Amino acid sequence: MGKLSVEELSFEEALAKLEELVEKIDTGDLPLAEALETFKLATDLSEHCARLLKEAEASVEELAADTDAADAAAGGEDEDDVDPFGDS
């Protein structure tokens, strides 16, 4: 198995590779050394995906906070405070 630079992969690339490795491990046909190497790479890919998801979540939360702050500064209503039926 060639050396794969996990950190350079996008989330989608890493997830696809992880799914491929899980299928390979599930067959049970790998020699022990290759199974261990495959499992290690799968673990690295899983951690990389989790890291990328956490970073994306933080970005979304930051954007949401910025939007809320901009709405508050503009005197706008928070979307959660708007009555969709106009009864307020």
pLDDT of residue 1: 46
CATH of 10-72, one of 1.20.140, 1.10.3470, 3.40.50, 1.10.287: 1.10.287
Q: Which of 55, 45, 5, 4 is nearest to 22 (CA)?
A: 45
How far apart CA 3 and CA 9 sit, in angstroms, is 13
How many CB atoms are located within 10 Å of the residue 48 CB? Answer: 21
pLDDT of residue 76: 62
- Whether the per-residue pLDDT at 29 is higher than 80: the answer is yes
- What global pTM score does this model have? 0.70
pLDDT of residue 9: 97
Going from N- to C-terminal start, the domains of the chain cover 10-72
Q: How do residues 2-20 score in pLDDT, each as one tens digit?
A: 567 999 999 999 999 999 9
